[in-house]
Chain A
Amino acid sequence: DAKTTQPNSMESNEEEPVHLPCNHSTISGTDYIHWYRQLPSQGPEYVIHGLTSNVNNRMASLAIAEDRKSSTLILHRATLRDAAVYYCILMRSNFGNEKLTFGTGTRLTIIP
């Protein structure tokens, strides 16, 4: 499995944008970049995914480097409810037929 590298922890002020980085230098051409987050006492929650182009949805934006060796999850205006562990995961397909390989993720703390 291709590996990802994320900072262990980050802090951000409430109502400010947050940029969560992920390095995946061994990514293959067919790997999709997925992001999940896990709030305290809950199961992981799908956030966003992409292949080559930047992606936006109601939760976040995903910026993918041109060489695809890194990506950044962007929360445009952090709230206290965004405090969670964020996982960057590579998957070979775009369909729910393969496992998710979680790392240790980035623990995001939001400062009121």
Chain B
Amino acid sequence: DAGVTQSPTHLIKTRGQHVTLRCSPISGHKSVSWYQQVLGQGPQFIFQYYEKEERGRGNFPDRFSARQFPNYSSELNVNALLLGDSALYLCASSLGAGYTFGSGTRLTVV
């Protein structure tokens, strides 16, 4: 079975632009979460979706938004990019106990 897949793997954007990151969960997993990991720190929770409904939101500004589609895939959108948004963005899916993470999207804002 394919694991959690994220696209793109790497991305370079300019300040002020917007970006869309995509995630496909493991087949059958209905819960998708997004995390931001800045270099040298642990991942920080951004959003969780379950059955297309938002179930949790971390302490991130409204520039960050997400959605989950009927096939349980998900998108994370970030508007008005700042230099500080440069990070590894991780997607995780779950069916029960334990989350499976993708390898992430490395976003660089210049």
Contacts and interface: CB of A to CB of B under 8 A. Distances in A.
Given A43-B92, A104-B42, A99 B33 contact: yes
Nearest to B102: A43
A7 interface: no
Interface residues of A, number: 23
Contacts of A97: 31, 48, 50, 55, 94
B90 interface: yes
Q: Determine the interface band of chain B, counting residues with CB < 8 A from chain A.
A: 20 to 34
Given A43-B92, A44-B90, A100 B98 contact: no
Contact of A95 (B58, B90, B97): B97
Contacts, number: 66
Nearest to B94: A96
The 8 closest A-B pairs by CB, nearest first: A96-B94, A43-B101, A102-B42, A99-B45, A46-B98, A96-B31, A94-B97, A43-B90
Interface of A: 34, 36, 41-46, 49, 85, 87, 94-105
